[in-house]
Chains A and B, each alone.
Chain A
Amino acid sequence: MKKIFFGLFIALSCYTYGQDCNYTFLGEVKDFHDKSSIPSATIYINEQDKYIVSDFDGKFKIENLCSGTITLTISHIGCETKTVSYQVNNDVFKEIYLEHHLEELTEVVVNSNLKTENTSIEQSLNKEIIENYTDKSLGDALNSLSGVSSLNTGNTIVKPMIHGLHSSRLLIINNNVRLFDQEWGDEHAPNIDINSSNKIEVVKGANTLKYGSDAVGGLILVKPKKYSPVDSLFGSTILSLNSNGRGGNINTELVKTFKSGYYAKLQSSYKQFGDFKAPDYYLTNSGLKNFNASLTAGYNSFEKGFDAYYSVVSNEIAILQSSHIGNVNDLVTAINSKEPRVIEDFSYDIDYPKQEILHHLGKIEAYKRFKGLGKLSVQYDLQINRRKEFDLRRGDLANTPVIDLRLFTNALQSNLHIDYIDDLKIDTGIMVRYQQNDAISGTGASPLIPDFDKYDASIYAIGNYDVSDTAELSAGIRYDYSRIEATKWYNISDWEDNNYDELFPQFESNTTDNSQILTYPEFSYHNISANLGYSKQFNNDMSIYLNYGLATRVPNPSELFSDGLHHSAARIETGLLTLNKEVAHKFVASFERNNENFGFSISPYYKYINDYIQLIPVGITTTIRGAFPVWEYNQINAQIFGVDIDVNKKISNSFNYNGSISLLKGDNKSDDIPLILMPATNFSNRISYYNEDLNQLTIGLSHKTVLQQNRYPDYNFYTFNPISQEDVYVDISSTPSAYSLFGFNSSMNFKAFKKGNLKLEFNIENLFNTSYREHLNRLRYFADELGRNFNLKIKINY
Chain B
Amino acid sequence: MKNLKSIKTIKLLALFFVSSLALVSCSSDDDGDHDDHDHEEELITTVTYTLSDGTNVVTLTFQDLDGEGGEDGTTTVSGPLAASTTYTGTLQLLNETESPADNITLEVEEEGDEHEFFFSSTINDITITKDDMDVNNNPIGIESTLTTGAAGTGSLTIILKHEPTKPNDGTAAAAGGSTDVEVTFPITVQ
Contact = CB atoms under 8 A, between A and B. Distances in A.
B108 A394 contact: yes
Contacts of A440: 30-31
Contact of A327 (B24, B42, B182): B182
A770 B188 CA distance: 54
Contact of A308 (B16, B69, B122): B16
Interface in A320-372: 324-327, 329-330, 333, 341, 360, 362, 364, 366
Interface string B172-190: 1100111111111000000
A159 interface: no
A722 B173 CA distance: 11
A362 B176 contact: no
B42 A393 contact: yes
Contact of B69 (A408, A443, A630): A630
Contacts of B178: 324-326, 330, 392, 567
A564 B155 CA distance: 29
Contacts of B77: none
Contacts of B65: 515
Contact of A723 (B162, B172, B176): B172
Nearest to A381: B20
Contacts of B136: none
A622 B179 contact: no
A565 interface: yes
Contacts of A299: 5, 8-9
A515 B171 CA distance: 36
A297 B11 CA distance: 13
A306 interface: yes
Interface string B54-98: 000000001011111111110000000000000000000000010
B125 interface: no
Contact of B24 (A384, A515, A626, A628): A384
B144 to A, nearest CB: 17
B24 A574 contact: no
A341 B182 CA distance: 19
Interface in A682-739: 722-725
B42 to A, nearest CB: 6
Contacts of A630: 69
Nearest to A337: B176
Contacts of B184: 722
Nearest to B71: A493
A798 interface: no
Given A451-B34, A563-B69, A722-B184, A364 B173 contact: no
B181 A491 contact: no
B157 A723 contact: yes
Interface in B134-190: 155, 157, 159, 161-163, 171-173, 176-184
B34 A515 contact: no
Contact-residue bracket for chain A: 35 or more
A310 B66 contact: no
B99 interface: yes
Contacts of B110: 395
Interface in A510-552: 513-516, 518
B22 to A, nearest CB: 11
Given A395-B110, A443-B38, A444-B40, A326 B20 contact: no
Contact of B30 (A442, A489, A574): A442
A515 B99 CA distance: 12
Given A491-B70, A493-B70, A624-B181, A723 B20 contact: no
A330 B99 contact: no
Contacts of A382: 20, 23-24
A304 to B, nearest CB: 9
Contacts of A166: none
Given A326-B182, A514-B99, A623 B33 contact: no
A723 B39 contact: no
B44 A624 contact: yes
A57 interface: no
B64 to A, nearest CB: 5
B7 interface: no
A46 B99 CA distance: 88
Top 3 closest pairs, chain A to chain B, by CB: A326-B179, A626-B182, A441-B36
Given A395-B110, A514-B99, A621-B69, 18 more contacts: A324-B178, A326-B182, A330-B178, A394-B108, A394-B162, A439-B38, A444-B38, A491-B66, A491-B70, A497-B71, A515-B65, A515-B66, A623-B69, A624-B64, A722-B120, A723-B157, A723-B172, A724-B173
Interface of A: 297, 299, 306, 308, 310, 324-327, 329-330, 333, 341, 360, 362, 364, 366, 382, 384, 386, 392-397, 406, 408, 438-447, 451, 487, 489, 491, 493-494, 497, 513-516, 518, 563-565, 567, 572, 574, 621-628, 630, 722-725
